[in-house]
Amino acid sequence: MENEDNNINNDIEKEEANQQMNQNQIEGQEGQEGQDEEMNNEQDDVESELMYIYEWVDSIELSRPKKNIARDFSDGVLLAEIIKNYLPRLVDLHNYPSCSNTKHKESNWNVLNNKVLKRLGIKLTKSEINDIITCQHLAIENLLQRVYNVLQNKVNMNKTKSNINQKNNNDMLRKTLEEKENVIKQLRDIIEVLELKLKNSEEMEKILENKVSQLTETLNKNGINNEQ
């Protein structure tokens, strides 16, 4: 009887162990699925945040169609074209030949890094360049974000300078017009004074003429004339 009880207890323990194992497996699968879902959600969030970068790139006319952004930008040519679109004097496109060879890509990126990006305040490490050349996930997007921010700041600065110059030009034009208006007013005042003097002179002339006429008439009445 005791052996039967022991066997029953052993069976119960085995069953409980199996149930616990199954439960652990289920929980493990659910945990992995949760992690996968979380990673997918994070990736979706990152791509959503980068949507403005993709739209920005699509808005610029480039020398070749954009199909896969990592591969399309891996040789540095399209980035050079984007920067030249904003800062034409900074980029010589003949320095960046289209290529598929890794060494040639490295050459393009080294030139772009030292001659262009450095002047924009961006300095890529060898590791970052390698990640871009080998099309690592989000490597080019991260660089495009940095370039976008710099270029937008420069555009805004140029707009501000342009607005300031326009304001200064408007102020100078306004001042010039005011000065001309003052000159015109002064000339009008002088003309009015001259006209008044002329009018007074004409009136004085008429008075003198009347006086002469009266004197002449008086002389004639008294038998005195110029001949005598």
Which pLDDT score, from 0 to 100, does residue 213 have? 82
Residues 7, 35 within the same domain: yes
Q: Which domain holds residue 95?
A: 64-189
Residues 112 and 182 in one domain: yes
Give a yes or no: residue 21 inside a domain. Answer: yes
In this structure, is residue 207 part of a structural domain? no
Residues 21 and 93 in one domain: no
Residue 57 in domain: no
Instruction: Give the list of residues 6+ apart from residue 121 with CB closer than 8 angstroms, or none.
Output: 150
H-run or E-run covering 203: helix 139-221
Report the chain's mean pLDDT, rounded to a whole number: 82
36 lies in the same domain as 70: no
Pair (97, 152) in one structural domain: yes
76 and 39 inside one domain: no
Tell me the pTM. 0.56
The reply to whether 220 falls in a domain is no
Q: What is the pLDDT of residues 144-185, one digit of tens each?
A: 999 999 999 988 876 766 556 576 677 777 777 888 888 888
**Tokens matching residue 112:** 């772009």
Are both 1 and 43 inside the same structural domain? yes
Domain membership flag for residue 226: no
pLDDT at 223: 73
Domain with 140 in it: what CATH number? Answer: 1.10.418.10
What per-residue confidence (pLDDT) applies to 228?
46
What is the rounded CA–CA span in Å between residue 146 and residue 132? 14
Q: Which of 27-31, 85-89, 175-179, 223-227 has the highest mean pLDDT?
A: 85-89
Q: Which of 13-22, 129-138, 175-184, 189-198 bottoms out in mean pLDDT, i.e. has the lowest?
A: 13-22
Mean pLDDT of the region 19-31: 65
